[in-house]
């Protein structure tokens, strides 16, 4: 019988916390993601933001790194992104 190990806990504040947001490649998805993230992480460094379109161009992923200050901040950020209806996935 194998032992289950817990995932490592994140220590806050956590600099360069990676987030990937996937949604339809339309209506300035990148701008929407950046504006939403800046509400929760106003010190977002735009040089740490990258965009990748899917093979057929239908979807877009926005990858960024923020300074995560706590679980509550991350929860609110993820909820705001998902509540928009524009985001398919937040990783």
* Cα–Cα dist 87/89, whole Å: 6
| Closest alpha carbon to 14 in 84, 74, 80, 56 | 74
Q: What are the structural domains, with CATH classification, of the chain?
A: 14-90 (3.30.70.260)
Residue 24 half-sphere exposure toward CB, CA atoms < 13 A: 5
CA proximity to 18, closest of 76, 80, 68: 68
Tell me what pLDDT residue 24 has.
96
Query: What does the alpha-carbon distance between residue 84 and residue 36 come to, in Å, rounded to a whole number?
Result: 10
pLDDT in tens, the chain (91 residues): 556 667 668 899 999 999 999 999 999 999 999 999 999 999 999 999 999 999 999 999 999 999 999 999 999 999 999 999 999 999 9
Neighbouring-strand partners of residue 64: 19
């Amino acid at each position: 019988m194998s032992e289950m190990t817990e995932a490592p806990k994140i220590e806050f504040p956590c600099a360069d916390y990676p987030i990937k947001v996937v949604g339809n490649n339309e209506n300035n998805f990148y701008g929407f993601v950046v504006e939403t993230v800046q509400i929760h992480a106003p010190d977002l460094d735009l040089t740490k933001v990258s965009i990748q379109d899917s093979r057929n161009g239908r979807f877009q992923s926005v990858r960024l790194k923020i300074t995560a200050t706590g679980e509550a901040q991350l929860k609110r950020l993820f909820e705001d992104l998902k509540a928009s209806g524009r985001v398919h996935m937040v990783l």
